[in-house]
Amino acid sequence: MRDFTQDHRWLSINTATVRQQRGQDWPLDQILDACAARGIRAVSPWRDQVAALGLDKTARQIKALGLELSGYCRGGMFTAASAEAFQAALADNRRAVDEACALGAPCLVLVVGGLPGALAGSLQSRDLVQARQQITDGIAATLDYARSVRMPLAIEPLHPMYAADRAAINTLEQALDVCDVLDPTRTGALGVAVDLYHVWWDPKLYSQIERAGRWRLLAYHVCDWLVPTRDLLTDRGMMGDGVIELRRIRAAVEAQGFAGYSEVEIFSATNWWQRDGAEVLDTCIERHRTVV
């Protein structure tokens, strides 16, 4: 297991962690500068932040600052109530793949979608079985394209509380089942993003990390699970403030050969998004060294 206590060489910041500070958007160009100024070597930006700054401009700044990406957030949202809407989702995923390529990302993270219309507040179907089939079909189609441009896809299983509205792939086991169907020979083109917020509770966590192995472990996202958790989406904890056995899980992932970045991804409307971005980044560095 790598020693993180001496430096933060393997720290990455998911830019949603500092996307708004005290109610104001923190622009991506400023986030990138602030990360680079602290010796943070990697980030994982979101598509809307990249769109706001401009894709070319973002790519140039990342290169100029010597930053790497640990992932690109995000593709997915495949479920749709009509064939037209499904095709539109596939087209949008191809654009996300292209953006990931332009930014030099190691993978495109997929949040696969829940029941059609649920996230928008206009549920169009309760057929979860069909939604999951559509997800597999959507990943298959996107994988065909992603392979052609050599961009790996990382399926991110989300906690089951999001099955209706954000992702009907809810465990590592389920994500790996899809990987085995679509990429049976483990080419590295398809794998998983292990986000501890979503998978820490799973009794099969360690066995599925082992099953994933090096070629399926494409991204590793850390935060903490607070007790109590007051909001399902925007009350993630800073590493060390909750109940997740961070070092034990990282040891398991690294035992499989994962040697990538530990990406901090914290959505925190009432705590960390209310502080100065500089303080949040400094705290991420400190916790990365002391508890991750």
From 51-59, 82-90, 216-224, 243-251, give the range in contact with Zn ion by CB under 5 A. Answer: 216-224
Nearer to Zn ion, 143 or 192 (CB): 192
Binding piece for Zn ion, criterion CB under 5 A, among 1-9, 81-89, 215-223, 234-242 = 215-223
Q: In angstroms, what is the minimal distance from the CB of 213 to Zn ion? A: 20
Rounded to 5 degrees, what angle do the CA atoms 29, 32, 36 make? Answer: 140
What is the signed CA dihedral for 93, 96, 101, 105, rounded to 10 degrees?
-110
Q: Which residue is nearest to Zn ion (CB)?
A: 195
Task: Give 26 or 162: the residue with its C-beta nearer to Zn ion.
Answer: 162
Count of residues near Zn ion by CB under 5 A = 3
Q: Which stretch binds Zn ion (CB under 5 A): 27-35, 78-86, 180-188, 259-267?
A: 259-267
| Nearest to Zn ion of 86, 260 (CB atom) | 260
Q: Which of 19, 166, 216, 221 binds Zn ion (CB under 5 A)?
A: 221
- Rounded Cα distance, 168 and 126, in Å: 12
Residue 86 or 168: the one with the smaller Cβ distance to Zn ion is 168
Shortest distance in whole angstroms from residue 180 CB to Zn ion: 22
Tell me how far apart the alpha carbons of residues 47 and 101 are, in angstroms, rounded to a whole number.
Answer: 13
* Binds Zn ion (CB under 5 A): choice among 208, 265, 272, 281: 265
Window 170-209: residues binding Zn ion (CB under 5 A): 195
Query: Closest distance between Zn ion and the C-beta of residue 12, in Å?
Result: 11
* CA separation for the pair 4, 124 (Å, rounded): 47
Q: How far is CA 96 from CA 19, 28, 225, in A?
A: 20, 18, 29
- Name which of 132 and 221 has its Cβ closer to Zn ion: 221
Closer CB to Zn ion, 110 or 189, in the complex: 110
The C-alpha angle 96, 97, 100, rounded to 5 degrees, equals 85
Task: Kindly state the smallest distance separating residue 156's Cβ from Zn ion, in Å.
Answer: 5
In sign, the C-alpha dihedral spanning 223, 194, 69, 14 is negative
The nearest distance, CB 76 to Zn ion, in angstroms, is: 12
* Minimum distance of Zn ion from residue 129's CB (angstroms): 25
Q: Nearest approach, Cβ of 195 to Zn ion (angstroms)?
A: 3
Q: Is residue 224 at the binding interface for Zn ion, with CB under 5 A as the rule?
A: no
**Long-range contacts formed by 244-248: CB under 8 A, 24+ apart:** 244/196, 244/200, 245/200, 246/196, 246/222, 246/291, 246/292, 247/1, 247/291, 247/292
**183 or 265, CB closer to Zn ion?**
265
Instruction: Name the residues that contact Zn ion, by CB under 5 A.
Output: 195, 221, 265
